[in-house]
Amino acid sequence: MAHTLTKEDIDVAHLDDLARALSRHGHLTMIVTDGVPRLTVLNRAEPDRYATVICERGPGGEPWFWWSWADRIAPVADLDHAATVIDRSLR
C-alpha cells in the first residue's frame, strides 16, 4: 500500500530543504516536529541570534516560509531568497 504524504510530511520536507540551504550559510539548524513542525535556526558566530521558521499556506494556498510571529518570508519555491532573508536577519 502506497504511503500518502500528509501536509505535515510536505511541510517537514520544505523545512529540511531550507535547513540545508541555511547550513550552507553557516547556520546550525534543527527541525522540531512536536506540534507544528518548525525549523530553529542558530547563528553559530552569535548563538544569541536565532529564529524559528514554519511552513504554512499563503493567501493563494501555496506553501510559504513564515517567521514564528506570523510574517511571511518567501514562498517555498524561492528557497534561495528565503535563505538569504533569514541569513540577513541573523547577522
Distance, in Å, from the CA atom of 79 to the CA atom of 91, rounded to the nearest integer, reads: 19
Distance, in Å, from the CA atom of 70 to the CA atom of 10, rounded to the nearest integer, reads: 19
The pLDDT score that the predictor gives to residue 1 is 60
What one-letter code names the amino acid at 38? Answer: R
Contact 55, 62 (CB under 8 A): no
Report the predicted TM-score, pTM, of the whole model to 2 decimal places: 0.91
26: left (phi over 0), alpha (psi -120 to 50) or beta: left
Q: What is the pLDDT along the chain (91 residues), one digit of tens a residue?
A: 667 888 899 999 999 999 999 999 999 999 999 989 999 999 999 989 999 999 999 888 899 999 999 899 999 999 999 999 999 999 8
